[in-house]
């Protein structure tokens, strides 16, 4: 079905918090769709203090304004400098815990329900918060995985051990809690040793991040297994009372979560759609009577739901 309105007009559902509480209580299953705003609310901010704390030397040299942009700048740098940047980026956004318990609060909300998570996020926060890895589908990749840049084969590789060696080689320390810190008086290096630069074990080409940026993205066995589990979950619950809980999904890739949730809410007889978003909570007219829209920071909304 083609929805008539595609331009969001943000609006709150009257008594939305209480209506969402009831929808959660009554649902046979909850399907969470999560976007980047969820991690932003949890503290994974790519600008400001975090940028200054971990990348002030790179910013001073290359003059970018956020970590995301820095990743594009890095593609032009020598391999040793590129992986110095990316190892910091990967470590703080994949192997450190976010500063706020937003993901843990979301888990507490659904842990006793039959749930599944569909997300475009690549920072692994769901699993670190306690979500069952067999109930997660990371559609766009994972900061914790590398792949052949060519790619010559459809496999991915865990990068944690090498990333740790890379950040330590630059002069960082890793605390008992996993936090990355700069020892007092230390001057960080902006390169990693050449022997740490990752290369494909099959063809020898440079490795790249397993992130969906172009048609070289590798959908490995794990990706396909998660996709199948999600499809099976949808098939089993189609005729049940299902809550599609969309959390902080923006408009960069709306077809993955947002449009799919709209479509299924419209077609499934007992489905409810809930959109939690910061100034972008919206549901199209076709499913308005089956929808709950709540504007605000996702962390604040979860606090109210408790």
Residues 276-299: tens digit of each pLDDT: 999 899 999 999 999 999 999 999
pLDDT of residue 87: 98
Q: What is the pLDDT of residue 193?
A: 98
**DSSP notation for the chain:** ---S--S----PPTTHHHHHHHHHHH-SEEEEEE-HHHHHHHT--SSHHHHHHHHHHHHHHH--SSHHHHHHHHTTS-HHHHHHHHHHHHIIIIIS--SS-HHHHHHHHHTTSEEEEEE---S-HHHHTT--GGGEEETTEEEEEEEESS-SSS-EEE-HHHHHHHHHHTT-EE-TT--EEPPTT----S---GGGS-B-TTT-PBEEEEE-SSTT----HHHHHHHHHHHHHHHHHTTS-EEEEEES--SSSTTTTHHHHHHHHHHSTTEEEEEEESS-----GGGGGGEEEEES-HHHHHHHH-
Q: What is the pLDDT along the chain (306 residues), one digit of tens a residue?
A: 555 545 455 679 999 999 999 999 999 999 999 999 999 999 999 999 999 999 999 999 999 999 999 999 999 999 999 999 999 999 999 999 999 999 999 999 999 999 999 999 999 999 999 999 999 999 999 999 999 999 999 999 999 999 999 999 999 999 999 999 999 988 999 999 999 999 999 999 999 999 999 999 999 999 999 999 999 999 999 999 999 999 999 998 899 999 999 999 999 999 999 999 998 999 999 999 999 999 999 999 999 998
Dihedral class, residue 8 (left if φ above 0, else alpha if ψ from -120 to 50, else beta): beta
Name the token pair of 127.
């699993």
Q: Which two tokens stand for residue 14?
A: 């009257």
Q: How far apart are CA 256 and CA 33, in angstroms?
A: 9
At 114-170, the pLDDT tens digits run: 999 999 999 999 999 999 999 999 999 999 999 999 999 999 999 999 999 999 999
Instruction: Give me the pLDDT at residue 1, please.
Output: 53
Supply the pLDDT for residue 183: 92
The domains of the chain are located at 16-41+99-133+220-305, 45-97+160-197
Nearest to 94 by CA among 66, 70, 68, 126: 126
Q: Which CATH architecture has domain 16-41+99-133+220-305?
A: 3-Layer(aba) Sandwich (3.40)
Predicted structure pTM score: 0.94
Let me know: does 27 contact 91? Beta carbons within 8 Å: no
């Amino acid at each position: 079905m083609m929805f008539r309105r595609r331009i969001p007009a943000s609006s709150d559902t009257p008594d939305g918090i209480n209506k969402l509480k009831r929808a959660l209580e009554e649902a046979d299953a909850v399907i969470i769709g999560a976007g980047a705003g969820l991690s932003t609310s949890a503290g994974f901010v790519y600008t400001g203090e975090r940028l200054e704390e971990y990348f002030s030397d790179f910013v001073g040299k290359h003059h970018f304004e956020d970590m995301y942009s820095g990743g594009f700048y890095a593609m032009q740098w020598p391999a040793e400098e590129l992986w110095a940047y990316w190892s910091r980026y990967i470590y703080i956004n994949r192997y450190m815990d976010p500063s706020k318990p937003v993901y843990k609060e979301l888990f507490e909300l659904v842990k006793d329900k039959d749930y599944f998570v569909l997300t475009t996020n690549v920072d692994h926060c769901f699993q670190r918060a306690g979500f069952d890895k067999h109930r997660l589908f990371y559609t766009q990749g994972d900061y914790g995985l590398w792949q052949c840049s060519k790619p010559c084969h459809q496999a991915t590789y865990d990068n944690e051990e090498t990333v740790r060696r890379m950040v330590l080689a630059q002069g960082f320390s890793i605390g008992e809690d996993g936090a990355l810190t700069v020892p007092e008086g230390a001057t960080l290096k902006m390169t990693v040793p050449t022997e740490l630069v990752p290369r494909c074990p099959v063809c020898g080409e440079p490795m790249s991040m397993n992130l969906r940026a172009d048609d070289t993205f590798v959908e490995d066995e794990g990706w396909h297994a998660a996709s199948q589990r999600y499809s099976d979950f949808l098939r089993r619950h189609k005729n049940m009372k299902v809550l599609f809980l969309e959390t902080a999904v923006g408009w960069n890739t709306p077809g993955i979560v947002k449009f799919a949730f709209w479509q299924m809410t419209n077609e499934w007889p007992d489905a409810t759609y809930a959109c939690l978003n910061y100034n972008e909570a919206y549901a199209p007219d076709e499913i308005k009577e089956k929808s709950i829209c709540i504007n605000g920071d996702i962390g604040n909304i979860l606090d109210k739901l408790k």
